[in-house]
Amino acid sequence: MSLAERVLAEPGKRVLLMGNEAIARGVIESNVKVASGYPGTPSSEIIMTLAPLSKKVGMYAEWATNEKVAFEIALGAAMSGIRSLATMKAPGYNVASDSIVSAAYTGVNKGLVIVIADDPGPHTTQTEQDNRWAAKLAKLPMIEPSNVQEALDYVKKAYVLSERLQLPIIYRTTTRVNHTVSDVVVGEFINEKQEVFVEYNPERYIRASMSWNRRRHEWLLEQLSKAEKYASELGLNRIEGEGEDCILTSGVSYTYVKENLKRLQIDASIIKLELTYPWPEKFLLDNITKCKRILVVEELDPYLEEHLRQTVQRHGLELEIWGKNEAGIPLVGELNPTIVYNAFLRFFNLNSTIKNNPQKNRVNKVRLPQRPPPMCPGCPHRGSYMGLLKAIQKSGYRKREVPIMGDIGCYALSLEPPLEAIWTEHAMGASIGLALGIKIAGYDKPVIATIGDSTFFHAGMPALVEAVNKNIDLLVMILDNLSIAMTGHQSTPESTITESGRKVKPVKIEDVVRGIGVEYVRIVDPFNLEEVVEAVKDALNKPGVKVIIARRECALQAWRRGISYKPPVIDRSKCTNCMACVRATGCPAIIDAGGKPLIIEEQCYGCNLCAQVCPFDAFVLRDNPLLKVDEHE
Amino acid sequence: MNEYNIVIASVGGQGGLTLSRIIGQAALLKGYRVRIGETLGMSQRGGIVQSYVRIGDTVESPIVGEGEADAILGLEPVEALRAARRYANNNTLIIVNTEPIHTITTIAGREKYPPLLDILDELRTISQNMIAINATEYAKNKGLPYSTNVVVLAVFASKTNIMEPEYYIKGIKTFVRRLTKENIELFNDVLRNVNKIMTMFSQ
């Protein structure tokens, strides 16, 4: 049974789906016609699931250049009477927020849901940004599902709420909802006709008149005042269990609460919030009067807790509140069953010996090595950074004299040994901007910005315009592996075809860069170490803005298309076991096997970088990927 | 069944996530509730991947509590021990593949990969209920070098009775998209020969 078959299963069937696949199913059930997003963990699988099915279900489902563009596509459609979806990871909200905040004043004519996937932990995100505050800042209603079934079911509710309020809805999820796989029962498909219309309504759509903006702000507050009532009519927010001891929770934390109550066989009332903005004060007041004490169980910031404290204070309630401090629930990292268990022991004053912790009496005898994520065998970024570092050294600088700014993508793994190349990884596109700042501040040695293909399109272009316009001495290396590799090989603006099968016009990076006004543009093959070193050395000597495009398809992607090269062979008569090949590349496919280098053939892609760093010419090449660069593109 | 918790410890690219879905699909068809969670880093390949498969009527959350694994399926020795320290108790069934995968810190010479026998010793002190086999070598000898996960699954299926083998086979059919028939044959082969395979690797 393929993913498509599971996602499109007949209504009422029970299937195994990941949270994001379940959201995609909910989106299809809701008859959404336009879906856009920018890849980012843990949100990517929503559009990845929709795109290949989009023709079949009559939907536009494509990646956009960045989250702001994605949201604007969705907003434009929803303004024009078409149900739409935008998806993004937590910091994607920051990129899209300029448009999202204005959209609260504009509103929509048809349902618009913005999935924002937060990442407590964090597992794969630069910060643990808690986007529940984003809903409050943007003044947009927010729904939080707790598990995969709700993630599917509440999409439909979100579209109804969006249309009743004429507002976009923030659908806030976290990694443990997006990436959990669960048995779910799928629902009915809605089949209601949607007509495109574009409305001329200056007060609503033109934000240039301040009196209009004030009136729209008043309208927004009026709409928000109805949100709680409409949400409760949709069955959002609920109470489970009974007792004077209450637990206020939302999102995935609810699952930890529920499981531990069962395990400890405790009676308590769970107050489960699902509409978490605007704050459902009426629902709270109806249900907390019977509580003597409330424990708040939530991840990251004390969002529920602060709102609860305000409600209690505003209404002069006699209530003992156990928040982050009282219950010892951390502000950092995600929750898990054990943390909530321990909070319960405190709150319910239970004997802590109920569960004996098996780790307590153990001695860890073996010293376990760390396993930071490596660059894959055949990763083109390996050659790019090896070349950069070698060229810096050959140009007469020490490694830590020439800052290499990193950016967001697989190439950030160059932070790990043995390369330890990048000095920063900050925000999408920030490599170029930060490098500019360092040069403008007066740093007299070269500064290099390294940025991936999609990241360059996403947010690197404005900074490159700035660099050209201000004529700053700067080397920018664009690492073009022809896909958004880290999040699962999504298409980029350079692709000729998208995941939905749509043939598109590729926008080539070299054309963009030249169009911006960069005169020094070179394209190199990262598998050709000598070529990279020579290009970087040359560029470091030239004034102004230089762009080197290091282009080679992601090895995993190529491998899946059946392309790989014969591994080289080590000539043992020449090899001195100096381990330069192992130490310089850090490639998982060549290891130190009892003092001798050993190529693990099943893992080797055949990039030949190890051979190129051998001081004794001890590698016999069996294939030459440099000759076959064209067939990759 | 109330609850059965499995932690799958692997390295990115070994098929740990696929294994979790095979077991999940089997459990779904058997009629159990299923929750699968996973913890993975940023890399496509080579990072630590832990998945949690939770089966049974009381499961709600996708994460296994500390010390609460009924079984740990370790596709790599160091990762098996890392997971066992956190999730195993002294009754946990630990199945470990003995084929090591180096880390970039051991490749770069910053850290040492610990001796296999030390890893197995510590696993045994955590739980006597420990089975060590070279699943990678076994799969490779059967012509399926990427099927370590299927060999470990078959050993698990033979040592537990939460589901009959045909459910796992249905799971393989759903989630192994390449060489499906060959992988089912491998699964059945390991089931038939499990005791022989275990003694083969216990020496």
User: In chain B, what are the domain boundaries?
Assistant: 4-202
Residue A353 has pLDDT above 80, yes or no: no
* Cβ within 8 Å, pair A373-B36: no
Q: How distant, in Å, are the alpha carbons of A8, A242, B171 from that of A24?
A: 10, 35, 22
- The reply to whether B178 touches chain A by the CB within 8 Å rule is no
What value does the mean pLDDT of chain B take? 93
Interchain contact, A181 vs B34, CB within 8 Å: yes
Q: Which residues of B touch A15 (CB under 8 A)?
A: 28
A440-473 pLDDT per residue, tens = 999 999 999 999 999 999 999 999 999 999 999 9
Mean per-residue pLDDT for A82-87?
98
Asked if the Cβ–Cβ distance from B107 to A582 is below 8 Å, we say yes
Residue-wise DSSP of A44-92: THHHHHHHHHHHHHT-EEEE-SSHHHHHHHHHHHHHTT--EEEEEEHHH
Of A179, A369, A583, the CB nearest to B112: A369
* pLDDT value of residue B43: 59
pLDDT higher than 70, residue A357:
no
Please give the average per-residue pLDDT across A24-50, as a whole number: 98
Contact between A110 and A215 under an 8 Å Cβ cutoff? The reply is no
Partner residue opposite A359 with nearest CB, options B60, B79, B85: B85
Distance CA A247, CA A268 (A): 7
- Per CB-CB distance under 8 Å, the chain A contacts of B103 are 369-372, 374
Contact A365 B46 (CB under 8 A): no
* A-proximal residues of B, 106-145, CB under 8 Å: 106-114, 118-119, 121-122, 125-126, 145
CA-based nearest distance B57→chain A, Å: 11
Instruction: Tell me whether the omega of the peptide bond preceding residue A39 falls within 30 degrees of 0, making it cis.
Output: no
Owner of token pair 């990436």: A179
Report whether A519 contacts A544 (CB < 8 A).
yes
Cβ contact, residue pair B63, A341, below 8 Å: no
Q: Would you call A280 an interface residue with chain B, using a CB distance cutoff of 8 Å? A: no
Residue found under tokens 């349902």:
A111
d(CA A213, CA B196): 78
For residue A472, what pLDDT is reported?
98
How far is the first Cα of chain B from the last one, in angstroms, to the nearest whole number? 36
Q: Taking residues A525-544, report their average pLDDT.
A: 98
Minimal CA–CA distance to A261: which of B58, B69, B37? B58
Q: Which of B45, B105, B109 sits opposite A556 (nearest CB)?
A: B45
Q: Which of residues 418-437 of A touch B (CB under 8 A)?
A: 418
CA–CA separation, A568 and A589 (whole Å): 11
Q: Is the Cβ of B56 closer than 8 Å to some Cβ of chain A?
A: no
A368 touches chain B (CB under 8 A): yes
Write the DSSP symbol of residue A424: B
| CA-based nearest distance A373→chain B, Å | 4
| pLDDT for residue A75 is more than 90 | yes
For chain B, say whether A127 makes contact (Cβ under 8 Å): no
Chain B nearest CA to A356, separation (Å): 9
Distance CA B81, CA A14 (A): 35
Residue of B nearest to A253 (CA): B61
Other Cβ atoms less than 10 A from the Cβ of A442: the count is 6
B19 touches A: beta carbon within 8 Å: no
Tell me which DSSP letter residue B11 carries. E
pLDDT computed for residue A406 by the predictor: 98
pLDDT of residue B198: 86
Cβ of residue A183 closer than 8 Å to a chain B Cβ: yes
A411: closest chain B residue by CA: B43
Q: Which CATH superfamily is domain B4-202 in?
A: Pyruvate-ferredoxin oxidoreductase, PFOR, domain III (3.40.920.10)
Closest chain B residue by Cα to residue A124: B42
Q: How far is B125 from chain A (nearest CA, A)?
A: 9
Give A 544-563 residues with CB within 8 A of chain B.
556
Nearest of B103, B201, B116, B117 to residue B151 by alpha carbon: B201
Task: State how far residue B73 is from chain A, nearest Cα, in angstroms.
Answer: 18
d(CA A64, CA A36): 6
Band (pLDDT 50/70/90 cuts) for residue B41 is low
Query: Average of pLDDT values for A319-347?
Result: 96
Q: What is the nearest CA distance from A605 to chain B, expressed in angstroms?
A: 13
Question: What count of residues does chain A have?
Answer: 633
Rg (CA), chain B: 16
DSSP secondary structure code for residue A456 in this structure: I
At a CB cut-off of 8 Å and minimum separation 6, what does B52 contact? Answer: B5, B6, B7, B8, B20, B35, B36, B37, B38, B62, B63, B64
User: Given this model, what pLDDT does residue A107 score?
Assistant: 98
CA distance readout (Å), A367 to A225, A289, A370, A527, B115? 58, 54, 9, 36, 10
Q: Chain B within 8 Å of A264 (Cβ-Cβ)?
A: no
Chain A residues inside the 8 Å CB shell of B63: 176, 256, 336-337
Q: Is pLDDT above 50 for A514? A: yes
Q: Is B7 within 8 Å of B73 (Cβ atoms)?
A: yes
Long-range contacts of A216-224 (CB under 8 A, 24+ apart): A216/A105, A216/A106, A217/A105, A219/A105, A219/A107, A220/A104, A220/A105, A220/A107, A220/A139, A220/A167, A221/A139, A223/A107, A223/A165, A223/A166, A223/A167, A224/A139, A224/A141, A224/A165, A224/A167, A224/A278
Query: Are A369 and B105 within 8 A, CB to CB?
Result: yes
pLDDT score recorded for residue B39: 83
Model confidence at A360: pLDDT above 70 = no
Nearest to A370 by CA among B55, B127, B114, B88: B114
Percent of chain A with pLDDT over 70: 98
What are the structural domains, with CATH classification, of chain A? 3-233 (3.40.50.970), 238-347 (3.40.50.920), 380-561 (3.40.50.970), 564-633 (3.30.70.20)
- Across the interface, whether the CB atoms of A255 and B62 are under 8 A apart is answered yes
Retrieve residue A581's tokens.
């090949």
Residue A632 has pLDDT above 50, yes or no: no
- Chain B CB contacts of A587 below 8 Å: 107
Contact, A6 vs A16, CB < 8 A?
Answer: yes
Q: Do residues A251 and A118 touch, judged by C-beta distance below 8 A? A: no
Band (A633; pLDDT cuts 50, 70, 90): very low
pLDDT tens digits along A250-294:
999 999 999 999 999 999 999 999 999 999 999 999 999 999 999
Tell how strand A14-18 and strand A181-185 pair up: antiparallel
Instruction: Test B66 with A357 for CB contact under 8 angstroms.
Output: yes
Take residue A247 and report the two structure tokens written for it.
């637990």
Q: Is the pLDDT of residue A356 over 60?
A: no
Bridge partners (DSSP) of residue B10 are B49
Average pLDDT of the residues in A529-555: 98
Give the angle A469-A471-A475 at the CA atoms, nearest 5°. 110
- Tell me: the pLDDT tens digits for B73-129? 999 999 999 999 999 999 999 999 999 999 988 887 889 999 999 999 999 999 999
Residues B123, B101 contacting (CB under 8 angstroms)? no
Q: What is the mean pLDDT of residues B7-28?
A: 96
Q: Would you mind telling me the total number of residues written for chain B in this entry?
A: 203
| Contact between chains at B60 and A255 (C-beta distance less than 8 A) | yes
A58: closest CA among A34, A37, A30, A26? A34
Residues of chain A with Cβ-Cβ distance to B11 below 8 Å are 371
Average pLDDT, integer, range B168-192: 96
A104, A220 in Cβ contact below 8 A? Answer: yes
| CB atoms A372 and B20 under 8 Å | no
> According to the model, what pLDDT value does residue A631 have?
46
